[in-house]
Structure 1
Amino acid sequence: MDTKNADLHGNAPDSSPVALLIIDMINDLEFPGGDELLEPASRIADRISELKQRAKEQSIPIIYANDNFGKWRSDFNEVVEHVLTDGVKGKYLAEVLKPDKDDYFVLKPKNSAFYETTLDMLLTYLQVKHVVITGLSTDSCVLFSANDAYMRDLKISIPADCVASINPAHTDDALAYMKRVLSADISPSAEVDLASLRQELASVD
């Protein structure tokens, strides 16, 4: 008997071979190094917003994976509200990338978007084969999440202009590693053809 509900009890009605993952971009930046990260984070927020809009046009699901800032009783809406209204450094990020009602989200306790979250199950129900990973920081949470995606046999794109870290050299090193070891496509976001990618993967079943 099939014990798996086809749509995750009505909570995952979409089906797409591609998903856009936005990591830690709803971020107050109120930590050591936050000042240095503000400019590159703001820059990639604009690029991610453009990529998100293109994904929406292709009915590609958007998934936010965000730290809980150590507040174990918080939920994602509280995190968004905090960044938007509490006068923090990262306000611009939340303004540009404020989640839409039909976006998905997971709160993560550690670096990887997969560790102790529902992301793995969500991707399974959405029938995702390829994740486009964006966000902060390239050499930490993006890297750990990409490693876990690779271990799950997912294809990976990490647009180089949609990820950042405090030290640009660390971003370059991490991108080179993910391209070499994880076979990640690190082409800039303008070169990511979401429509073709979706069509190509949909025909592979």
Structure 2
Amino acid sequence: MARPAALRRTPLPRSKHVLLLVDVINPLNFPTAADLLPGAVRAANAIARLKARLARRGVTAIYANDNYGTWHSDFRDILTACRALPGARGEMACLLAPAPQDLVILKPQHSAFHSTPLQHLLDKMQTEQLIIVGLAADMCVMLTATDARMLGYKVWVPSDCTAAESEHRKTEALRQLHEVFKCAVRPAVRAAAP
């Protein structure tokens, strides 16, 4: 008996480099979200350009997204709800929606590695380097990048593909990632993709 399409095994691609999009499908529904929104819009446009460039080179994209406490939903529900939001929040969700070949995981906390299958996926894909983009530079991106470094991955955090609630917070987070954790931190706009 043939398996239904939804139950068919799908092979994982081998991808030495992986683009990890952290919390980019985001309702930005918290008290200080207005401070994050302008930078998030700029970052979303840079992320879309970088993602297209990396996709042409065969780099796999993995979305690691908060579940926002919606324990009875899945990523498609979150994407649909965010796409329906008015203004820049909805536009960002439309711009950064995953392509059919992209992988998606939901995370319950800040780091994309905490209580998720991310490390298992990366091991199966034989990944060596993560390109980490998303929101916010000083929280979920930073904690994901530090976990990645502690697990032995090379990490590039494109500075123009992140945002925080203030430029100072973003700058300090990226400085610490570069100086302390030895992540590559440079803008995607000027960098050669892996």
Tell me the secondary structure at the aligned position of residue 98 of structure 1.
Answer: coil
2:170 and 2:85 map into 1 onto residues whose CA distance is: 29
2:18 and 2:124 map into 1 onto residues whose CA distance is: 12
Residue number in structure 1 paired with 2:13:
14
CA offset at residue 12 of structure 1? 3.8
Q: Does 1:35 align with 2:34?
A: yes
Q: Does 1:171 align with 2:190?
A: no
CA offset at residue 89 of structure 1? 5.7
Q: Is the 8 Å Cα contact of residues 160 and 189 (structure 2) preserved in structure 1?
A: no
CA offset at residue 193 of structure 1? 1.9
The AA in structure 2 aligned to 1:23 is: V
Q: Does 1:115 align with 2:151?
A: no
Tell me the secondary structure at the aligned position of residue 114 of structure 1.
Answer: coil
Describe the superposition over 1:153-199 as per-residue Cα deviations: whole angstroms up to 9, x where unpaired: 000000110111111101100000000111111110023322xx3xx
CA offset at residue 15 of structure 1? 0.6
Describe the superposition over 1:101-160 as per-residue Cα deviations: whole angstroms up to 9, x where unpaired: 110011000000000001111111111100000000111001110111011100000011
Tell me the secondary structure at the aligned position of residue 189 of structure 2.
Answer: helix
Q: Does 1:79 align with 2:86?
A: no
Residue number in structure 1 paired with 2:125:
126
2:82 and 2:158 map into 1 onto residues whose CA distance is: 25
Residues 1:12 and 1:146: Cα distance change in structure 2 (over 3 Å): farther
1:31 and 1:66 map into 2 onto residues whose CA distance is: 16
The AA in structure 2 aligned to 1:50 is: R
Describe the superposition over 1:3-34 as per-residue Cα deviations: whole angstroms up to 9, x where unpaired: xxxxxx94343111100011111001111111
Residue number in structure 1 paired with 2:5:
none
1:24 and 1:70 map into 2 onto residues whose CA distance is: 13
Q: Is the 8 Å Cα contact of residues 133 and 158 (structure 1) preserved in structure 2?
A: yes
Tell me the secondary structure at the aligned position of residue 125 of structure 1.
Answer: helix
1:70 and 1:31 map into 2 onto residues whose CA distance is: 13
Tell me the secondary structure at the aligned position of residue 21 of structure 2.
Answer: strand
The AA in structure 1 aligned to 2:161 is: C
Tell me the percent identity.
Answer: 34
CA offset at residue 98 of structure 1? 1.0
Tell me the secondary structure at the aligned position of residue 189 of structure 1.
Answer: coil
The AA in structure 1 aligned to 2:122 is: L
Task: List gaps (5 residues or longer) in structure 1.
Answer: 1-8, 198-205
Residue number in structure 1 paired with 2:155:
156
Q: Is the 8 Å Cα contact of residues 113 and 147 (structure 2) preserved in structure 1?
A: yes
Q: Return the TM-score normalized by structure 1.
A: 0.87
2:54 and 2:85 map into 1 onto residues whose CA distance is: 30
Q: Return the TM-score normalized by structure 2.
A: 0.92
2:127 and 2:158 map into 1 onto residues whose CA distance is: 18
Task: List gaps (5 residues or longer) in structure 2.
Answer: 1-7
